[in-house]
Amino acid sequence: MSKEQIFLFGYGKFGRSIADDLVEHDAEVVLIESDEALYHEARKTHRFDRCILMDVTDDAALEALPVRVDEQLVCVMDDDHLNVFLVLSLRALFPQSRILAISDSIHATRKLKMAGANKVIDLYAISANRIHNILNKPIATRFLEGFLNADHEYSFREIVIPEGSFLHGRTLEEIDFRRYGVIFVGMIDVELGNSFIFVTTGLEHKLDAGDIIVCIGHDEDLDRFEKAIHKAKEEAE
């Protein structure tokens, strides 16, 4: 009896690392890639059981894949919209298969779950959760502060939401922090008694002028974000 196959859709920023792990553990991997350059890179770099160049928006091509019942489908396309579309198509075509997807966007995570992914690995929430765990350990906190404040590229920043900001009255889930190149870690909501709320506790909180948000990122990105939130209207970039 042949081993269970893992169908890996995407060889971009996440797919490469996942491919490394799967191949290292001797998994039977079938790679599907829609970008020709990435397809050739995958064939050159990894020894997959099969490597297929395919338009993943083509349902007929997807349906022709030799997917057996209960086999794993891993969706890690770089384009969030394409990844959601792919999960939706695969769920309709292979209802018995387990679909795993990776997301680095709060918005994409919700859409992937609604599209039918059995499991979504939210890298955004994982990052925040790690920071939460570190900050609750004093020794690790001192190490982290030293790391961020030394000659490294990232830093934490507390930002007070000013009066008249476009953030006032909006919920966290409505804001795409990624477009500014920063990661939202948590906030102090003055309406909830000035307690610190980590991102992993939920994203339904409404922002108000005077609230403090804590973000991590490159200094220039944090500067740009802080400048942007002083405006009454969010500007397209």
* pLDDT given at position 124: 64
Q: Are 99 and 90 in contact (CB under 8 A)?
A: yes
Of the candidates 161, 145, 148, 144, which has an alpha carbon nearest to the alpha carbon of residue 232?
161
Q: Are 108 and 83 contacting, i.e. CB atoms less than 8 angstroms apart?
A: yes
Q: Which residues in the chain are classed under CATH 3.40.50.720?
A: 5-117
State the pairing for strand pair 50-53/28-33: parallel
| Burial category of 187 from C-beta neighbours within 10 Å (exposed 0-12, middle 13-18, buried 19 and up) | buried
**Which pairs with CB-CB distance under 8 Å and at least 24 residues apart come from 196-204?**
198/128, 198/129, 198/131, 198/132, 199/124, 199/125, 199/128, 199/172, 200/125, 200/128, 200/129, 200/132, 203/106, 203/171, 203/172, 203/173, 204/171, 204/172, 204/173
Tell the CATH topology of 130-228: Alpha-Beta Plaits (3.30.70)
- The CA–CA distances, whole Å, from 204 to 43, 100, 160, 198, 199 equal 44, 25, 19, 12, 10
105-124: pLDDT as tens digits: 777 888 898 999 988 887 76
For residues 148 and 141, the answer to whether their CB atoms sit within 8 Å is no
CATH 3.30.470.20 fits 5-117, yes or no: no
The per-residue pLDDT for range 195-222, each reduced to its tens digit, is: 666 665 455 678 888 888 888 888 888 8
Mean pLDDT, range 85-110, rounded to an integer: 88
pLDDT at residue 15 is higher than 60 = yes
Instruction: State the CB neighbour count (10 A cutoff) for residue 158.
Output: 11
Within the chain, all domains assigned CATH 3.30.70.1450 are found at 130-228
- Whole-model pTM: value is 0.57
Percentage of the chain surpassing pLDDT 90?
33
